[in-house]
Amino acid sequence: MKFRNVIIAAAVAALPLAAQAATLIVPAAGTGPGANASQWQSELTLHTAAPRSTTLSVSFHQGTNVLGPVEVVLQARETVSIADIVHTKFGLDSGLGALVIEVADRDAKSLAVTSRTSNVSPTGEFGQDIPSVDANAALRVGDVAALSGPATAATNRFNFGIYVTEAASVDWQVVRADGTVGATKTVTYAAGTHAQYNSGIETLIGATAQDNDTVHARVNSGRAIFYGSIVNATGDPTFIPGIRTREDILIQFTGVDLDENGSIDLRDNNGDGTLDSPVEILRTVFGNFFQVVAQGEFGENVTLEIVSSPAFAQLIDADGTMMVVVGTGTSASSGQIVLRATSENSSQLITIPVVFR
């Protein structure tokens, strides 16, 4: 006989607190020389529609390093353009990264952010707009960013990158024009990381680029923003947004049975693979137990495996019974457990949000 702690459903409808600050990300900005004698620089343009002054901070994330922040003040309805911002504000002669803009939530509603990255060459200036992205719009677990490559791979460079808003694991996959998978590479990232992969199909994924390749970036854990760029033989770039997509959901994730009595206590009502309400986990050296209930598209059994968890977690039987242990010294107050559910026909990530009491 097993003695188990009772898991209490976190069905408390807490009143949301007003956000104090907003974060906007320009996922790519840089300065300095590039391939084929190109010379790159990024311009950031800020405008406020508010009838009052606005103060914001801008930092530059290069890999896992952070430069700044620098403060920018906009007067009422003012527009400010910062030329070659990575050089003029952060002192770099050569560098590539992401611009992170922090602004009070009230002021964010009045703020317009645009950026342009240009190649200044002897034959002219060629550039691309790189839109800012609200950090809240970052892709999450189960999302797939689709990055469409060039129609002619031989005469174009296909670069792509990522800015990580929450520590993440990502499957990078090249999908050929006929739908076959060329290769896959899994990478983990710390929060706040920027990474760009020039000719990334070759340099990151380890495959040979072909015409009309599409790169899939599947988020296994955490959250991130994805982007791409196609640069032709003249050094003229075209921005490629990371389009949020999802694969067909063929796993039926019913929900969680907290006391394993055959009744579903917490459900995934919208079928997106994420439990609608968090499971409450008690801080104790004894295990918290609950059952994950899922089946294949046609009712077949699924195999579960743990992809990530903010606490010690273990699947203890084939019926989906899970044990989670959170010690009293754990500082985190919440997180999510990500499972991979696999049937004979398909595989899908399942997300179970948890709170620690």
CB 58 within 8 A of CB 101: yes
What DSSP state is assigned to residue 15?
Answer: P
Q: What is the per-residue pLDDT for 35? A: 78
Least confident of 70-84, 124-138, 174-188, 336-350: 336-350
Burial of 261 (0-12, 13-18, 19+ CB in 10 A): exposed
Predicted confidence band at 9 (pLDDT cuts at 50, 70, 90)? very low
Residue whose C-alpha is closest to residue 145's, from 85, 200, 202, 219: 219
Q: What is the per-residue pLDDT for 266? A: 96
Query: Could you give phi then psi for residue 209, rounded to 5 degrees?
Result: -65, 140
pLDDT in tens, 201-251: 999 999 999 999 999 999 988 999 999 999 998 889 999 999 999 887 788
Distance CA 54, CA 349 (A): 42
CB 217 within 8 A of CB 162: yes
* Whole-number percent of the chain with pLDDT over 70: 94
Question: At residue 2, what is the residue type?
Answer: K
CB 352 within 8 A of CB 291: no
Query: Could you give phi then psi for residue 132, rounded to 5 degrees?
Result: -80, 155
Predicted confidence band at 6 (pLDDT cuts at 50, 70, 90)? very low
What DSSP state is assigned to residue 81?
Answer: E
pLDDT in tens, 95-151: 999 999 999 999 999 999 999 999 987 777 889 999 999 999 999 888 999 999 999
241 cis-preceded (ω within 30 degrees of 0): no
| HSE of 183, CA atoms in CB hemisphere, 13 A | 12
Predicted confidence band at 73 (pLDDT cuts at 50, 70, 90)? very high
Distance CA 338, CA 142 (A): 10
Residue whose C-alpha is closest to residue 260's, from 51, 76, 4: 4
82, pLDDT greater than 90? yes
H or E element that contains 86: helix 85-88
Q: Which domains does the chain have, with CATH numbers?
A: 21-134 (2.60.290.11), 140-219+241-245 (2.60.40), 252-356 (2.60.40.10)
Distance CA 182, CA 203 (A): 14
Residue whose C-alpha is closest to residue 85's, from 58, 47, 54: 58
Predicted confidence band at 284 (pLDDT cuts at 50, 70, 90)? confident
Q: How high does pLDDT run on average in the chain?
A: 90
Distance CA 45, CA 318 (A): 56
12, pLDDT greater than 90? no
Residue whose C-alpha is closest to residue 74's, from 65, 63, 62, 82: 82
pLDDT in tens, 160-211: 999 999 999 999 999 999 999 999 999 999 999 999 999 999 999 999 999 9
- 66 bridge partner residues: 61
* Whole-number percent of the chain with pLDDT over 90: 76
Burial of 352 (0-12, 13-18, 19+ CB in 10 A): buried
What DSSP state is assigned to residue 155?
Answer: G
pLDDT in tens, 291-303: 999 998 888 899 9
Residue whose C-alpha is closest to residue 249's, from 296, 210, 209: 296
